[in-house]
Amino acid sequence: MRLRAIGNVKIRRGPWLRLQAPHQPRRSDRKLFWLCDRRASTIVEFALVAPLFILLLFGLLETSLIYFAQETLETAGEASLRLVVTGAVSDDVAGRSRLHSAACAQLPGYMDCNALRFDLSSAPTMSGVGRTPSPTYNANTDRFAIGAPGDIVVLRLLYQWPLSLSPFSIVVRQAPSDHGHLLVATRVAKAEAYR
């Protein structure tokens, strides 16, 4: 071994500085050689990340559709409440039909008009409004009570949004009997003196 001085530094020259050929696996190492191979690592990483990305994408799509449906229901509630407070809707079957038609006209085509339910109540004062029971979605009955002119009117539109687009729908459901997410649009106004 020779030492060569470069400036104040001495460099040793030895066999380890020679260029060597890449390591060729022995027969005993060939079984484990595929673990060191990085040629298909991108495909494997994508296969690990893709299901989570697709789950997130579908969840984002379903959440945005629910928010859009909620805002559409709020708009339908505003148009329906306008009919109630102006006295354009009477407390009979024809009035219910007119209110239902006015709300359905505001809904987009992908929302089922038959799944829309009403919860209409009124109270003479604002303190009596808080005593109205919570709305429940029942496929057979609607609460429809139009008060006198000058009453406070509370209109709730209920819509059962089916969750079937993504695997998140399994997580959101509370019980096996649930068929989706209950959307509720609440509007409160004072009825005009229309009589």
Domain assignment of residue 133, yes or no = yes
In a domain, 111, yes or no: yes
Q: Residue 76: pLDDT band by 50, 70, 90 thresholds?
A: very high
Query: Residue 123: in which H helix or E strand, if any?
Result: strand 116-123
In a domain, 33, yes or no: no
Comparing 77 with 17, which gets the higher pLDDT? 77
Mean pLDDT of 57-82: 89
The answer to whether residue 123 is domain-embedded is yes
Residue 17 lies in a domain: no
Identify the CA nearest to 183 among candidates 155, 162, 154. 162
Distance CA 134, CA 146 (A): 17
Our count of domains for the chain comes to 1
pLDDT top residue among 42 and 176? 42
Q: Is the pLDDT of residue 7 over 70?
A: no
> Mean of the pLDDT values across residues 51-67?
87
- Domain, as residue range, for 62: 42-190
What gap in Å lies between CA 2 and CA 16, rounded to an integer? 14
For every residue of 36-80, DSSP letters joined together read H--TTHHHHHHHHHHHHHHHHHHHHHHHHHHHHHHHHHHHHHHHH
Q: What is the pLDDT of residues 82-135, one digit of tens each?
A: 988 888 888 888 888 888 888 999 888 888 888 888 888 888 887 777 665 666
Whether 31 maps to a domain, the answer reads: no
The answer, as to whether pTM is greater than 0.75, is: no
Q: Assess whether pLDDT exceeds 60 at residue 175.
A: no
Q: Give residue-wise pLDDT tens across range 42-55.
A: 888 899 999 999 88
Confidence at residue 92, expressed as pLDDT on a 0 to 100 scale: 83
The CA angle 131-101-177, to the nearest 5 degrees, is 60
Determine the 3-state secondary structure of 188 from DSSP: strand
Average pLDDT over all residues of the chain? 76
pLDDT for position 176: 47
The pLDDT value given to residue 22: 57
